[in-house]
Amino acid sequence: MSNIRKFAFYFMCLAIILIAACSKKSETTEIKHYPVDSMEGIKTELSVTIDKEITSDGKGSMFISTDRPTTVRLYETGDIDIENSQLVYQAKVRTKDVEGQVYLEMWCHFPGKGEFFSRALQSPLSGNSEWTSQKTPFFLKKGENPDNVKINLVINGTGKVWIDDIHLVKYPLNG
Report yes or no on 144 lying in a domain: yes
Structurally, the chain folds into a number of domains equal to 1
Report yes or no on 117 lying in a domain: yes
Report yes or no on 16 lying in a domain: no
Report yes or no on 23 lying in a domain: no
Element holding 8 (H helix, E strand): helix 3-23
45-53: which pairs have CB atoms within 8 A and are 24 or more residues apart? 45/73, 46/70, 46/72, 48/72, 51/162
CATH of the domain at 97: 2.60.120.260
Predicted pLDDT of residue 74: 95
One digit per residue, pLDDT tens: the chain, 175 residues?
Answer: 566 655 445 444 444 544 444 444 458 899 999 999 888 888 887 779 999 999 999 999 999 999 999 999 999 999 988 989 999 999 999 999 999 999 999 999 999 999 999 999 999 999 999 999 999 999 999 989 999 999 999 999 999 999 999 999 999 987 5
Predicted pLDDT of residue 130: 97
Report yes or no on 12 lying in a domain: no
Q: Which of 36, 109, 112, 50 is nearest to 77 (CA)?
A: 109
Predicted pLDDT of residue 90: 97
Report yes or no on 9 lying in a domain: no
Report yes or no on 38 lying in a domain: yes
Report yes or no on 60 lying in a domain: yes
Predicted pLDDT of residue 159: 97
Sign of the dihedral defined by the CA atoms of residues 145, 71, 89, 135, in that order: negative
Domain of residue 38, residue span: 28-172
